[in-house]
């Protein structure tokens, strides 16, 4: 048996995080979960925060568990969700606890910023879709509120940047996450100086941008002393978790469609150059940085967040369901009863999703679902049908005919959603691997170490290492008819 080293991917999602150990054994990747922890937002007054110091604590617990199992590490990398950030002050300390992207401080900020700078100008410079929680709007909201963060902050660091800084003492911004801020110019390959000046954001806030696979320091002495471990190299991976998930797509064809499926659903294709034109802006697509200089032409879809929040609401009312139980109830419910647009603004903030689904259905002239099974079926069918809409837009924008859809992420454990996605798009769905972000994180570390020559060799090894489930489309006539009703009821094509 030939074994090549040990690495850890710290993969932080919007609801949980994990420390995943990766090894290459006889040419195949083996992963082991060393540590898993919840990532719970914290409401303080009117503000919703991330508990960034708790996340840092959990990263250290992952390193301790590796040490206590006698595992010597070659490197580590961190990926997380995008857009959120903190500031480091002149004394090197964190200024304020980062806001959660679902915090309401950006409500109505888009209109205020567009009054100062047209949306078309921003899109032309950045190629990034407009979402009210984008970093550009968060910073603008802080400026409008005269936040002390902006007076006291010297350096802007996104969530993985912050955690890397705590570990290494070095401050860098990473490419895949930097592009999501809507302040990075993909044509120039750097922060957009003119845009920053027009918005009054000092260029000095922003650090050098590292490409995925770049060395980003080593564990600093204080961390090593605290944990009793040697200094370990830290790499900047594709630190937006979707960038890491796409790196792990086990595609054979260089023209492929992907769906990173979890709390959010992110669908698109990998391109060599950003697609920045009127159609991309009209469809509200985005061009986010990927590995090896690629871009992810994609669109955000609300995803399983709506189901997760519905389950939380039922638990508060004393009705506890596991996710498999909810999927079983959905499978038994009447098909194509009601539809929602998962991306309607009413589904963005935390809250009573079953009540909001009822409200949406009534406002669109539909009979409201009554049972948990009917509500879950509505959510999953609506997601699958929205996937078809975005899949077809992806083909138009990229000028490709895509032969199927690669689904990665935890959402692939929902086999009903995988099958319904195949039914909706009328093409095969290939589901796997489920730990896509962690595996892509590892792949970039191994590329940086010279173990893999490039991302395509890494994808071949990933394909050989993890099972992929194929779902073929079924019930095409019924799903095509449902799609026509869905588009008409939701008005998404307008």
Q: Pick from 425, 421, 385: which is nearest to 402 by CA?
A: 425
C-beta of residue 41 within 8 angstroms of C-beta of residue 12: no
Sheet strands side by side (includes 405-408)? 286-289, 295-301, 265-271, 257-261, 405-408, 429-431, 469-471
Which among 91, 78, 82 has a CA at the least distance from the CA of 232? 78
Whole-number Å distance between alpha carbons of 290 and 233: 22
Instruction: Work out the end-to-end distance of the chain between its first and last CA atoms, rounded to an integer number of angstroms.
Output: 58
Cβ atoms 292, 454 nearer than 8 A: yes
Task: Tell me the C-alpha distance between 410 and 434, whole Å.
Answer: 5
Active site positions, annotated: 241
Which helix (H) or strand (E) element contains residue 407? strand 405-408
User: Cα separation of 293 and 184, whole Å?
Assistant: 14
Which regions of 141-245 does DSSP assign to beta strands (E)? Answer: 153-158, 173-174, 184-185, 190-191, 209-210, 214-218, 233-236
Say if strands 257-261 and 405-408 run parallel, antiparallel, or are unpaired. Answer: parallel
* 402 contacts 256 by C-beta, under 8 angstroms: yes
Over the range 36-67, which residues count as b (16 or more CB within 10 Å of their CB) and which as e?
ebebebeeeeeebbbbbeebbebbbebbbebe
Cα separation, 416 vs 378, in Å, equals 13
Burial of 124 (0-12, 13-18, 19+ CB in 10 A): middle
Asked if residue 22 lies in contact with residue 29, where contact means CB atoms within 8 angstroms, the answer is: yes
């Amino acid at each position: 048996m030939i074994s090549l080293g040990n690495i850890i991917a710290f993969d932080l999602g919007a609801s949980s995080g994990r420390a995943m150990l990766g090894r290459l054994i006889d040419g195949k990747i083996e992963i082991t979960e060393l540590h898993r922890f919840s990532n719970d937002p914290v409401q303080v007054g009117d503000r919703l925060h991330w508990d960034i110091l708790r996340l840092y604590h959990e990263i250290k617990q992952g390193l301790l568990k590796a040490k206590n199992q006698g595992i010597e590490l070659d490197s580590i990398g961190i990926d997380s969700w995008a857009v959120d950030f903190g500031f480091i002050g002149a004394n090197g300390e964190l200024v304020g606890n980062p806001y959660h992207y679902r915090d309401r401080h950006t409500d109505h900020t888009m209109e205020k910023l567009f009054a100062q700078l047209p949306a078309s100008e921003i899109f032309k410079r950045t190629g990034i879709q407009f979402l009210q929680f984008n970093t550009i709007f968060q910073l603008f909201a802080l400026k409008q509120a005269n936040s002390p963060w902006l007076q006291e902050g010297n350096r802007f660091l996104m969530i993985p940047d912050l955690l890397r800084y705590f570990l290494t003492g070095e401050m860098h911004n990473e490419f895949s996450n930097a592009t999501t801020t809507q302040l990075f110019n993909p044509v120039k390959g750097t922060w957009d100086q003119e845009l920053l000046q027009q918005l009054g954001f000092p260029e000095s806030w922003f650090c050098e941008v590292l490409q995925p696979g770049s060395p980003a320091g080593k564990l600093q002495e204080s961390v090593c002393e605290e944990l009793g471990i040697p200094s370990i190299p830290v790499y900047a991976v594709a630190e937006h978790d979707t960038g890491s998930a796409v790196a792990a797509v086990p595609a054979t064809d260089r023209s492929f469609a992907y769906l990173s499926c979890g709390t959010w659903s992110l669908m698109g294709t990998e391109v060599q150059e950003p697609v920045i034109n009127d159609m991309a802006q009209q469809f509200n697509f985005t061009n986010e940085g990927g590995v090896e200089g690629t871009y992810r032409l994609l669109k955000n879809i609300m995803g399983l967040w709506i189901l997760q929040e519905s389950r939380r609401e039922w638990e508060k009312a004393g009705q506890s369901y596991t996710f498999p139980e909810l999927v079983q109830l959905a499978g038994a419910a009447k098909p194509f009863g009601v539809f929602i647009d998962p991306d309607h603004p009413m589904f963005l903030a935390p809250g009573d999703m079953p009540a909001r689904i009822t409200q949406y259905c009534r406002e669109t002239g539909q009979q409201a679902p009554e049972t948990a099974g009917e509500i879950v079926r509505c959510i999953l069918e609506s997601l699958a049908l929205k996937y078809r809409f975005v899949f077809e837009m992806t083909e138009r924008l990229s000028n490709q005919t895509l032969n199927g859809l690669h689904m990665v992420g935890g959402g692939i454990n929902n086999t009903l959603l995988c099958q319904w996605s195949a039914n909706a798009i009328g093409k095969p769905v290939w589901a796997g691997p489920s730990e896509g972000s962690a595996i892509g994180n590892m792949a970039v570390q191994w590329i940086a170490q010279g173990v893999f020559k490039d991302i395509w060799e890494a994808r071949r090894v990933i394909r050989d290492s993890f099972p992929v489930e194929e779902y073929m489309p079924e019930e095409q006539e019924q799903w095509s008819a449902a799609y026509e009703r869905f588009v008409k009821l939701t008005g998404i094509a307008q």
